[in-house]
Amino acid sequence: MDHRLHAFKTEVLQYTDILSEDDWHFFQLQLKPVSYLKGEEVFSRTEVCKMVLFISEGLLASEFHTEEEYIINRFFKPNDLCANLVSLLTEQLANDRLFAVTNVAGVLIPYQLMMENYLHSTSIGIYFRKKVLETMLADKHFMSVKTISGVEPKLTFLQENYPEVILHTPWKYIASFMGVTPSWLSRKLKQQKG
């Protein structure tokens, strides 16, 4: 089995023990293992989103574009599900794009397949229902940290909850998330190391 599909199945089995081999076989035939290079766009602002990505390896970021700048508002890590959610649900163009911060491997899941299982499956649907709740909670944490926290709490949030972002993400993206310059972030991280 492809390593990306294996990672996805392993993750699903952590949420439900009801998954039969027949259910998995039928389900996995509709999945698409994918890889993206660092910097490559995964979900665009210029296309309606129709897929959900399970990340088996690597990091992604969600980036908004204003008239003045590009702003990172969220990071995604291995075992996360991600998509241009507004685009997915409204069938309209998104106002953000998701791109690979590092090389990324994962599995694309057709939205219709995910929703059919979310609503009706007593096996894979359990995974999707629990995972959507986790994703909503993570979104809420990112939104809270981004909107009501100062610079220091944003850095602490990433260090405590997303250490792989600090370790593997170019500082310009972390700085964009925090609302600071890359040089400020560099100085701050050097100060913390001693």
- Domain-wise residue ranges, the chain: 3-193
Orientation of helix 124-148 relative to helix 21-28, angle to 10°: 60
> What is the per-residue pLDDT for 141?
92
- Rounded to 5°, angle at Cα 28 from 51 and 101: 45
pLDDT 10s digit of each residue in the chain, 194 long? 899 999 999 999 999 988 989 989 999 999 999 999 999 999 998 899 999 999 999 999 999 888 888 899 999 999 999 998 888 889 999 888 999 999 999 999 999 999 999 999 999 999 999 999 999 999 999 999 988 778 889 999 999 999 999 999 999 999 999 999 999 888 888 888 77
> What is the per-residue pLDDT for 56?
98
CATH number for the 3-193 domain, one of 3.40.640.10, 2.160.10.10, 2.60.120.10, 3.40.50.2300?
Answer: 2.60.120.10
Contact 16, 118 (CB under 8 A): no
Distance CA 179, CA 146 (A): 9
Instruction: From 87, 83, 59, 92, select the one nearest 139 (Cα to Cα).
Output: 83
Tally helices (H) and strands (E) across the chain.
9, 8
**Reported pTM:** 0.92
> What is the per-residue pLDDT for 101?
97
> What is the per-residue pLDDT for 68?
82
> What is the per-residue pLDDT for 133?
95
> What is the per-residue pLDDT for 67?
82
> What is the per-residue pLDDT for 192?
83
> What is the per-residue pLDDT for 152?
87
